[in-house]
Structure 1
């Protein structure tokens, strides 16, 4: 009786200190999450370096981390700085009146008079819609300017999070296999099940991060390129926005290039509008329809519709981290139920036959 009471008390203490430790780490969850993701992605590089260098895990981890910074961190920082600069220019154009959202929307309405009828049939107040869209454009530009100022004010916080992420990534690269084995020993689910879940975690994290980022980079680069070719202002800004939106399967980048093509039609630039429509539907769309199933769906072993819903749900709940967290939770959900079906229901069916 006393032993049972002691075990229960210890488990309560274990749960309490674990929750407390999680609360302490809450400000750094993004840094921890991306450190784990980067370590998972670059683990094969670490393994190859270990095979060549011999028993030198510290050196292998340091070289892998430097490669990660050269390939990912530094280019993203330069791209982010250019994005912020063009975002400020976009805001200044709206603030100065050089770009008037109301005028743009009126041009579209004049060019497509049937659009009002369609919206009325759908029960949408066109006058309120125009006002809301114009307000959205102003607010979006103001948001870009505000976030730019916030980033500037929080530079120290940003670099602290980046430093913590890189610092943790180094140790995860160096000690990742030991930590995995320790967690398998500590968790009470059975070593085979835990190993299967860890394998699924690695597969999905690697597939979603690598796959989605490759698709985002390709679609953003293609979108920025065609905007530059057609002399549309802010090609880098809109390319980065399309890259972010492309994290949403099926519809992402089209949320930018399709309205811009309608505006080009409205202003009489039929040639540029037709080129943009064709390029967006065929080239940019092809990158999503071909690359995403190969890079994400195949490796995660998730149906396309599960990837779509889990990605959108993840982004709505967890922000930008959700494009990885959503499919990861979905994959672990399906893997856990598969383990349950195989390990538990099969035993009950065998007992019923006996």
Structure 2
């Protein structure tokens, strides 16, 4: 009997490692699909009895595509425009000729052609990396397709997956039910406290950029929505850059207005929303959130900004459930 148990454990362990290796190249897309399915499941449960589970799942996936295509398309457009505007020679750089003349008079060195070779070298390096960029683009395209398919099936068969997981988990059903409930509460607390609040804060900050005519304000608004999820950092880099931009262009009054707007309206929005939507008993400490964001972003990439704090929140909830049920304290 012990030999059978050992063999079963080894077999399961080997298959688990192989499964992880299979999933690893697209792990970030898998986690994104799971997170989106968690958020959309309440809507799926409402719509499925009315229009059918398949139709409702397909509709929610379509809605997700529409909501994400806009911001991603905006980012790509701005990025492509920035690439097209890159100079191919030093003579195309703004105020290059005057800077070159001043440097030659100051240093007494002939710099003609040096900057041209430098800029052309940088451009050549970018061209050499084109194959890597193409490969990354193919990987991202396949990952997005996988994400959409997984999202559809998680919405349609998510409850079946949860029931199967509970049936094979070697824990009493009461423990599992409490663990799932705590995990759901912790995940919603993180989503509401850090994703929703960051989205609103980034949007409110973007209104200030639009009002004062900052270039590419829509792009920087999307950037601030992501930066607002990072504790300590927040939207300050973009708003501070906006203030500097206005001051450099001689628009001192508008720069002062943007500074005051960030210190009052944006700050109050952040504090008020966090106090309104976060249950203080289930929220994580800011230091834990910071560790989750930075650590998971390093390990998982961009999706780690969302998943990192949730993983730590789930760990905290698991410890609390086990401590209560098994009297580990």
TM-score (norm 2): 0.77
Q: Deviations over 1:187-219 (max 9, x none)?
A: 223333333332233333344345544334323
2:72 to 61, 80, 87: 80
1:288-303 mapped onto 2 (5 Å cutoff): 288-295=270-277, 298=280, 300-303=282-285
CA contact (8 A) 1:200 1:331 kept: no
Q: In the alignment, does 2:181 pair up with 1:185?
A: no
1:60 to 36, 49, 53: 53
Q: Deviations over 1:52-97 (max 9, x none)?
A: 45xxxxx324323313422x32232122122222233345556343
- Give the 3 Å change call, closer, same or farther, for CA 13–151 of structure 1 in structure 2: same
Aligned to 1:236: 218
Aligned to 1:208: 190
Distance of 1:60 and 1:14 partners within structure 2: 33
CA contact (8 A) 1:46 1:61 kept: no
| Distance apart, 1:238 and its partner CA | 1.6
Q: What's the secondary structure of 1:89's corresponding residue?
A: helix
Aligned to 1:40: 38
What 5-or-longer segments of structure 2 have no aligned partner?
100-121
Deviates more, 1:41-50 or 1:157-166: 157-166
1:317-332 mapped onto 2 (5 Å cutoff): 317-332=299-314
Aligned to 2:12: 14
CA contact (8 A) 1:37 1:209 kept: no
Number of residues of Structure 1 aligned to a counterpart in Structure 2: 299
1:123-272 mapped onto 2 (5 Å cutoff): 155-209=137-191, 211-272=193-254
Q: Deviations over 1:264-290 (max 9, x none)?
A: 335542111111111112222233223
1:306 to 284, 288, 292: 288
CA contact (8 A) 1:49 1:60 kept: yes
1:69 to 62, 68, 81: 62
Q: What's the secondary structure of 2:302's corresponding residue?
A: helix
| Distance apart, 1:293 and its partner CA | 4.7
Name whichever structure is richer in helix by fraction.
Answer: 1
Q: What's the secondary structure of 2:93's corresponding residue?
A: coil
What 5-or-longer segments of structure 1 have no aligned partner?
54-58, 104-138, 349-354
Q: In the alignment, does 2:305 pair up with 1:344?
A: no
- Give the 3 Å change call, closer, same or farther, for CA 77–197 of structure 1 in structure 2: same
Aligned to 1:4: 2
CA contact (8 A) 1:230 1:272 kept: yes
Q: What's the secondary structure of 2:170's corresponding residue?
A: coil
TM-score (norm 1): 0.72
- CA-based RMSD of the aligned residues comes to 3.3
CA contact (8 A) 2:284 2:313 kept: yes
Distance of 1:325 and 1:337 partners within structure 2: 18
| Distance apart, 1:235 and its partner CA | 1.3
